[in-house]
Amino acid sequence: MVGGHESFGAWSLKKAPALTWSEGDNWVSEDVELPVDGVFVYKYVVTDAQDAGKPVAWQKGNNQVLVLSASDAPLLIVQDDWIGDPAKSYTSAEDGSDKMLSEQRLVQRIGDADAALHQSRLDVMDLKVEVKTAQLQSAALREEARLSSNVRLKLKQQLSAEKKRSEVLEQQVFEWKNKFKTLGPGKEKKDKKDEKDSGATKKNAAAAAAKAPPTPPTPPKAPPAPKPASSEEKSR
């Protein structure tokens, strides 16, 4: 029995597992370890008794196909026919239960593969939708970042302008303070001097008024003199 997997000799007759004859004209091999969930191709061949690498006769028909799944562990019994009749090639559990044609197992595996492929296509479509949505979200975020950058730039410009205005106001306040410091003491001295001069003037006026003699009372005015008579009155 030789096949594509290493356990079948990788199509090398010298490495392939040998079969031994048993009662009922059945040829049986030792247990062959194969990975679960796989598809394996093999074929029976009669080799030369002196040279195992020399084929004498090959099994008729197509290659045998064995489909394994995780549920087949730990042991699966495989029975084939030398003439290659698919109706006589089947698998079963160790106790003879769960008997199934090898061809049926292959058809079931193909159906499962088609269903998995269909589901994969649906998943791919969903992924495409998610990718498209992610692209739209990314574009929206980039636009938002651009607008935010423009807003930050405008705010920065406004803050810079406000800072300049504040500096100008501080400079004006500083200049006014210096101006008030320059004008303040002189004005205060002038006010005090004016106040002092005004007080001295008032004192001098009071002293002069005290030293001057009292003013005599004003005499009454004399009555007006009579007017002389006119010439007309004199002739009368």
Does 31 score more than 80 pLDDT?
Answer: yes
Residues 56 and 78 in one domain: yes
Tokens at residue 184, please? 């303040």
Q: Of 57, 80, 98, which one is at a domain's C-terminal end?
A: 98
Residues 88 and 117 in one domain: no
The type of residue at 35 is P
Q: Of 147, 163, 179, which one is at a domain's C-terminal end?
A: 163
Pick the residue with more confidence: 195 or 22?
22
Contact 37, 67 (CB under 8 A): no
pLDDT band at 209 (very low <50, low <70, confident <90, very high): low
Question: pTM score, two decimals?
Answer: 0.54
Residues 57 and 12 in one domain: yes
User: Domain limits at 59?
Assistant: 2-98
Residues 93 and 129 in one domain: no
Contact 1, 29 (CB under 8 A): yes
Pick the residue with more confidence: 190 or 110?
110
pLDDT band at 202 (very low <50, low <70, confident <90, very high): low
Strand pairing category for 38-43 and 26-29: unpaired
Residues 90 and 116 in one domain: no
Residues 78 and 64 in one domain: yes
Residues 114 and 134 in one domain: yes
According to the model, what pLDDT value does residue 174 have?
86
Return the CATH number at 64. 2.60.40.10
Residues 92 and 132 in one domain: no
Mean pLDDT on 217-229:
56
State the Cα–Cα distance between residues 185 and 166, nearest whole angstrom.
Answer: 29
According to the model, what pLDDT value does residue 152 have?
84
Backbone angles phi, psi at 102, to 5 degrees: -60, -35
Does 46 score more than 90 pLDDT?
Answer: yes
Residues 119 and 75 in one domain: no
Residues 57 and 109 in one domain: no
Contact 44, 18 (CB under 8 A): no
Q: Of 98, 120, 137, which one is at a domain's C-terminal end?
A: 98
Residues 93 and 156 in one domain: no
- Domain count along the chain: 2
